[in-house]
Amino acid sequence: MTQQNELARGAAAQVRETGFVFLEAVPMRALLTQFGGLDDWAAFAASWSTLARDEYMADNGRYRRRAHATYVFEATTIRRAAHQAHYQSRDYNSLNGGVERWFEPIAPAIGDGASMRTILGACQHFFGTLAPNVRAWHVETHQFRIEASRDIAGSPTPEGVHRDGVDYVLVLLIARENIASGTTSIHALDGKALGSFTLIQPLDAALLDDGRVYHGVTAVQALDPREAAYRDVLVVTLRRT
């Protein structure tokens, strides 16, 4: 068994046991690159600077930018679906749920590029080992930029500690610039704290069994209010169909 396979098996075992695993950048890169390259990473990461503002924030917040795309996993295939709305019920998102939210689509060059395809391939394999009898998955990908300024903190999870209403979730850090905090906390369904960690380096990641744990992220503050301050993540969710 290769070191990469041992890593994947160990991470999957932790998700089965606790409902989540935090992987730092080096092991996460090793996991990802079993499924392709990251040759376009510079352009992939730079695309977060082009995101449109999220106009659906019920708290009137102006601190979040995002783009969205949907994919289908079937057997060993991955295909991008037609652009569609993102929907969560208020049971899962008390702030912004209950409405169809039409975000700007992830650019084709990014959504079909090497980095995205590698990330999706890793998700298909990793989460597929946790649910081997599932034949098809509805997959949503979200580019998020959370901004902080002199007067306003940016909240990665303004709805609070929550579940997403899916089966599995990947949260992958893309960039972190001039911010403090942004600590992820994981909680059991009864509210018991299970762990916390902060995504610091690009490719730091959290992999979650959304049916078994809640998650939340503390607000980020600008270290130097004169400079741009933001937290960029890619979120990938899988729901069995």
Asked if the model's pLDDT at residue 223 lies above 50, the reply is yes
| 178 Ramachandran zone, left/alpha/beta (phi>0; psi -120 to 50) | left
What number is the average pLDDT over the span 108-130? 98
> For residue 225, what pLDDT is reported?
93
Regarding pTM above 0.85, the answer is yes
Question: What are the tokens at 129?
Answer: 């080992």
Residue 222's DSSP bridge partners are 179
Lowest mean pLDDT among 3-12, 14-23, 47-56: 3-12
> For residue 94, what pLDDT is reported?
85
Rounded to 5 degrees, φ, ψ at 64 are -125, 135
Rounded to 5 degrees, φ, ψ at 239 are -130, 130
pLDDT digits (tens, 9 = 90+) for 145-172: 999 998 889 999 999 999 999 999 999 9
CB 213 within 8 A of CB 36: no
Three-class HEC string of the chain: CCHHHHHHHHHHHHHHHHCEEEECHHHHHHHHCCCCCCCCHHHHHHHHHHCEECCCCCCCCCCEEEEEEEEEEECCEEEECCCCCECCCCCCCCCCCCCCECCCECCHHHHCCHHHHHHHHHHHHHHHHHCCCCCEEEEEEEEEEEEECCCCCECCCCCCCECCCCCEEEEEEEEEECEEECEEEEEECCCCEEEEEECCCCCCEEEEECCCEEEEECCEEECCCCCCEEEEEEEEEEEEC
> For residue 2, what pLDDT is reported?
76
How many CB atoms neighbour CB 19 within 10 A? Answer: 22
Q: What sign has the CA pseudo-torsion 30, 34, 37, 42?
A: negative
pLDDT digits (tens, 9 = 90+) for 164-219: 999 999 999 999 999 999 999 999 999 999 999 999 999 999 999 999 999 999 99
pLDDT digits (tens, 9 = 90+) for 41-100: 999 999 999 999 999 999 989 999 999 999 999 988 999 999 999 999 998 888 899 999
> What domains sit in the chain, N to C, each tagged with a CATH number?
3-240 (2.60.120.620)
| 202 Ramachandran zone, left/alpha/beta (phi>0; psi -120 to 50) | beta
> For residue 79, what pLDDT is reported?
98
pLDDT band at 1 (very low <50, low <70, confident <90, very high): very low
Asked if the model's pLDDT at residue 3 lies above 80, the reply is no
